Chain A
Amino acid sequence: NAGVMQNPRHLVRRRGQEARLRCSPMKGHSHVYWYRQLPEEGLKFMVYLQKENIIDESGMPKERFSAEFPKEGPSILRIQQVVRGDSAAYFCASSPSWGRNTEAFFGQGTRLTVV
């Protein structure tokens, strides 16, 4: 079991470009969370997805940000027209089921730098 895989590990984008962050959950996990971590700060919830469904996107900015978790392939967090304030570490976590208390495993994160 390779664990939660995120890529790229580091991403540099110019202002106005698009950023695509990928997350492959652990084998057997059908639930993915995305969190944003600013330098020296905590983990801010963004979105919670199940395969082909967005369960909770209450932490996601209304504009420029979107997330998906298709039936096949990784979960994608997409940031359009990036701005300097988007620079942060983006972590995804996965868990195997819903309706039960199960631990979430984190990926290594993608460090986005907007220049």
Chain B
Amino acid sequence: GENVEQHPSTLSVQEGDSAVIKCTYSDSASNYFPWYKQELGKRPQLIIDIRSNVGEKKDQRIAVTLNKTAKHFSLHITETQPEDSAVYFCAAQIIQGAQKLVFGQGTRLTINP
């Protein structure tokens, strides 16, 4: 089945700097890649997603890039702020007659003031 690998597991950056989180997936049939943010004790919430027909998508300080050939996608956060501190999960959708989201292991991002 699908396997999603996420790196790094922890990331610490200075406020105002950029943060990059990378994921790889194994199933070339996957064509939907969402990113979720989970603050401590709360539910995961979708922050941005990308579909396989585009290579990049941007929403204010957040951007996601997708390389289908290499089967990897990345989350970029620019001008980081303290409220960006959270755990971030990437996911890939498997198209095998069912819609199952498989998540990466998560990245704990800490923004240092």
Please list the residues of chain A having a beta carbon within 8 angstroms of any beta carbon in chain B: 31, 33, 35, 41-45, 48, 55-56, 58, 91, 93, 95, 97-109
**With the chains together, A35 CA to B102 CA distance in Å?**
10
Known: A103-B34, A103-B49. A45 touches B44 (CB 8 A): no
Contacts of A55 in B (CB 8 A): 98, 100
22 A-B contacts, Cβ less than 8 Å apart?
A: A31-B99, A35-B103, A41-B105, A41-B106, A43-B106, A44-B103, A45-B103, A48-B98, A48-B100, A56-B98, A58-B1, A91-B43, A91-B44, A93-B101, A95-B99, A97-B99, A98-B99, A99-B97, A100-B99, A102-B99, A106-B36, A106-B43
**How long is the Cα–Cα vector from A41 to B38 in the complex, in angstroms?**
12
* Minimum Cβ distance to chain B for residue A55 (Å): 5
Nearest-CB residue, chain A, relative to B87: A42
* Any A CB within 8 A of the CB of B85: no
Residues of B in contact with A, size category: 20 to 34
* A-B Cβ contacts below 8 A, count: 59
Residue from A48, A101, A109 within 8 A of B32 (CB atoms): A101
Interface of B is mostly: strand
Q: When each residue 72-113 of chain B gets 1 if its CB lies under 8 Å from chain A and 0 otherwise, what string results?
A: 000000000000000001000100011111111110000000
Is B12 close to A, CB under 8 A? Answer: no
Query: Which B residues are in CB contact (< 8 Å) with A102?
Result: 99
In contact, B103 and A98 (Cβ under 8 angstroms): no
